[in-house]
Amino acid sequence: MFRRTKIVATVGPASAQPETLRQLIAAGVNVFRLNFSHGSAADHQQVAAHIREAARAEQRIVALLGDLQGPKIRIARFSAGSIQLSPGARFCLDTALDKDAGDITQVGVDYPQLADDCDVGDTLLLNDGLIALQIREIRGSRIDCEVITGGVLSNNKGINRKGGGLTAAALTVKDLADITLAADMDLDYLALSLPRNAEDVTRARQRYREAGGEGGIIAKIERAEAVADEATLDAIILASDGVMVARGDLAVEIGDAELVGVQKQIIQRARALDRFVITATQMMESMISSPQPTRAEVSDVANAVLDGTDAVMLSGETAVGDYPVVTVAAMHRIILGAERSWQQRGFASQRQPETLSAIDESIAMAAMYVANHLSGVKAIITMTETGATPKLMSRIRSGMPIFAFTPHPRTQRRVSIYRGVETMAFDSESVPNSRINGEAVSQLLALGLVEAGDRILITKGDYDRAHGGTNTLKIVTAGEDVR
């Protein structure tokens, strides 16, 4: 069965070896994530080279995604390494305290503006929300708190303000260096951590282009401000090429009870606004140490698929887990199970006809309508330069495989994250106009992807008049004299 939803896997110590990378690709990984929060530039460059070599060996197209660390606000360090906080105890966060002087009563913070961003009564969440502190008094650099939810607190744990509102800039000095690294590595996508608004995304794109980067920008939705209202969320989505539902920090800031509804909203809005969406964080967390997922994890992955996410992402499961290849195979199996109940024909789009403003958009919509209503259609071929037309097609619910034929390796890699899209190397300029359609269909026939008698939809530009612009839709039958 054709798998539509894509798999993103994070590379780490458990998966960076060339043979493991080959096994991950064979198991179904479409995109590899390089986490710039860990490792050196040389480490990332070496891993990228290994991934590209593994993809060539497996004769598969995979994309590379670099993930910026962003302004992660952290406490400093304890002289004893960790402490035990008890509910009701007093504890101080001090931005002026020596970085190694933390003890049972206080700890330093690496964010000088924390006191300015907070008010008495605010709740600060540490260690991914496991520890909760309520602010009782603010005195200069010192934030005196009462422990609401206690536990073990160790060095360098993150801090979030419940409800958001911390003003740290989205791009740090380290991020700017990593943007240059991503450009030098020719990564296909760059993920921006903790953007507050569309301006943060635009600024990151500008910096990336100035550095020579040509990849797409992914906005990670993980701040409460980003989902505070639909206008802000829509603006962030429109400023990006795709978004990631980064459920870790997002859940801490908005609360677990709100997360599921917000996740569904982000997926729905991304699809409606013609952007791709990745669902991430703790999708198969138990498989870091277990060869089998929990039933809750199976449901979590399946529900993201049913909601229409383009991709699901593995983090620690493949970066540091004991079963990286087994985990990818399990995710592949779960996705197929979910898609069997979802891929029913029927035109489902968030768009209204009056909103169409471009010819390629109209052709993409028309092709998907025909695919979902004309009997005998088994595949869609779209000739593309940039990947724009297959992306538009992938926004519309269908069980039909979309084959993006392109001569450009960069376009092949970029479309590999779009839901339902597979890519084929095809240089239409080397084929006479009268034979382009026939050659493309023959390629699918030779690979066993269609059979004689199947109907196939073909979209492309009218090369006599508008090279590079999709403005033609044709219906052909495999095995006949296709022109």
Contact status, residue 270 vs residue 253, Cβ threshold 8 Å: no
Cα-to-chain-centroid distance, residue 239: 15
Contact status, residue 223 vs residue 98, Cβ threshold 8 Å: no
Active-site option among 5, 95, 281, 318 = 281
Residues 6+ apart with CB under 8 A from 293: 284, 286, 287, 301, 327, 330, 334
Contact status, residue 5 vs residue 419, Cβ threshold 8 Å: yes
Q: Which of 234, 313, 250 is nearest to 278 (CA)?
A: 313
- Catalytic residue at 410? no
Q: b/e per residue, 204-241, with b = 16+ CB within 10 A?
A: bbebbeebebebbbbbbbbbbbbbeeeebbebbbebbb
Q: Which of 165, 170, 175 is nearest to 114 (CA)?
A: 165
Active-site option among 72, 74, 174, 474 = 74
Contact status, residue 407 vs residue 425, Cβ threshold 8 Å: yes
Exposure on the CB side of residue 412, measured as CA atoms within 13 A: 15
Active-site option among 196, 220, 413, 460 = 220
Other Cβ atoms less than 10 A from the Cβ of 13: the count is: 11
- Catalytic residue at 74? yes
Contact status, residue 256 vs residue 231, Cβ threshold 8 Å: no
Pairwise CA distance, residues 425 & 405, whole Å: 6
**Backbone torsion region of residue 156, taken as left when φ is above 0, otherwise alpha when ψ lies between -120 and 50, otherwise beta:** left
Other Cβ atoms less than 10 A from the Cβ of 15: the count is: 26
Residues 6+ apart with CB under 8 A from 335: 3, 4, 5, 7, 301, 302, 305, 312
- Catalytic residue at 474? no
Residues 6+ apart with CB under 8 A from 49: none
Contact status, residue 127 vs residue 107, Cβ threshold 8 Å: no
- Catalytic residue at 33? yes
Q: How far is CA 34 from CA 234, 277, 284, 285, 310, in A?
A: 27, 18, 19, 18, 19
Pairwise CA distance, residues 313 & 430, whole Å: 38
Q: Which residues are catalytic?
A: 33, 74, 220, 281
